[in-house]
Amino acid sequence: MKNFNVGLNREQAHRLRAFCDLHSKENFLFVKDKELYFLAATGSIANNNFQTCVEHIQGYDPKIDLDYYEKARAILGAHDFSEKFEVSILKQFLASKYNRVNFRFKVSSITVTFSG
């Protein structure tokens, strides 16, 4: 895995936080599978009440970016993974004056900052 940066703008962070608040979720995920996205989920498929909020990373949205899979694989390799974050990060960001929350992934650490 190479070092990489991803982030959410205010609109994306607001939707993710609203979903988490509505469903009393304390955490959300960054997910790398075929795509790159932030995710909050609730319910179960077996109980037919599964719901998600997915916020794709700019440049890796399969509805828009035809080469999303190849780009994600080139940066992060073939293995799927996820990282869990506390919703409090989104709350702090949305209470700030900044326009973007940034997540910098390194081999041994993850740093969260606000910018813009």
Question: Can you give the residue ranges of every domain in the chain?
Answer: 4-115
Q: Specify burial of residue 114 (Cβ count, 10 A radius: 0-12, 13-18, 19+).
A: middle
Q: Please report the pLDDT score of residue 1 as a whole number.
A: 63
Mean pLDDT for the stretch of residues 45-67: 92
Architecture of domain 4-115: Roll (3.10)
Pairwise pLDDT comparison (104 vs 2), residue with the higher score: 104
- β-pair partners for 104: 5, 111
pLDDT tens figures, 71-98: 888 888 888 889 999 999 999 999 999 9
| Token duo for residue 90 | 């989104």
